[in-house]
Amino acid sequence: MKINERIVFNWRLMIIRFSVIVLLFINFSSYAQRKLPLIGIEKPPRPITLYVNPAQGLSFGAFYEGTSGGTIIVNANGSRSTTGTVIGVNLGFSYSPAIFQVDAEPGTLITISNGPDINLTGSNGGTMSLHIGSSDLGSPFTATAVSPSRTQLRIGATLTVGTPIANPPGNYSGTFSVTFIQQ
């Protein structure tokens, strides 16, 4: 073996030894779950909380049904309209959509699912059919308020009114369901 070949051979041997030493200091660990720094990590979703103010519940106000009935509609924006022979009257009874307040992390996507149509029962007999309408924020909507503030939304409805014989004057009441689904 010549001197040049020995020098090359020695360098190769040194490189191999150095590589082995480096490999001994490398940590070959694996993790099933890593702890990540909190900066830039999305918070886990917290369950939404729904608030209903009974004083601001769904109300159609006072109306006169006429000879053949029709519908009375309270829109999510708070306006009221009628069809058929139903006439809305102002006798000191207010009308309003159902008003809800949602406490959720800003950016939470929430879908509204209306329950089935229900029958309202009259204090003097009779029933009227109630159909829940859409929300003023649409569905799905994104919560925007930062707690302790709440995202407010309104939901309107349509009341189907029959003839005066089928629906005598009085107070009609019932319970409807609306489901808020956090996504």
Residue 13 falls inside a structural domain: no
Q: Which of 108, 106, 157, 165 is nearest to 129 (CA)?
A: 157
The answer to whether residue 177 sits within a structural domain is: yes
Residue 5 lies inside a defined structural domain of this protein: no
Where in the sequence is the domain holding 96, given as residue range(s)? Answer: 49-182
pLDDT range class, residue 157, cuts 50, 70, 90:
very high
167 belongs to a structural domain: yes
Q: Say if 30 falls within a structural domain.
A: no
Q: Is 45 strand, coil or helix?
A: coil
d(Cα 97, Cα 110) in Å, to the nearest integer? 19
23-37, 50-64, 82-96: the lowest-pLDDT one: 23-37
Domain count for the chain, please give it.
1
In a domain, 24, yes or no: no
**Per-residue pLDDT reduced to its tens digit, 105-138:** 888 898 899 999 999 998 988 899 999 999 998 8
For 35, the enclosing helix (H) or strand (E) is: none
Q: Does a structural domain hold residue 11? A: no
Is residue 93 in some structural domain?
yes
Confidence of residue 9 (pLDDT cuts 50, 70, 90): very low
Separation of alpha carbons 74 and 69, rounded Å: 16
Beta strands across the sheet bearing 141-142: 141-142, 109-114, 178-182
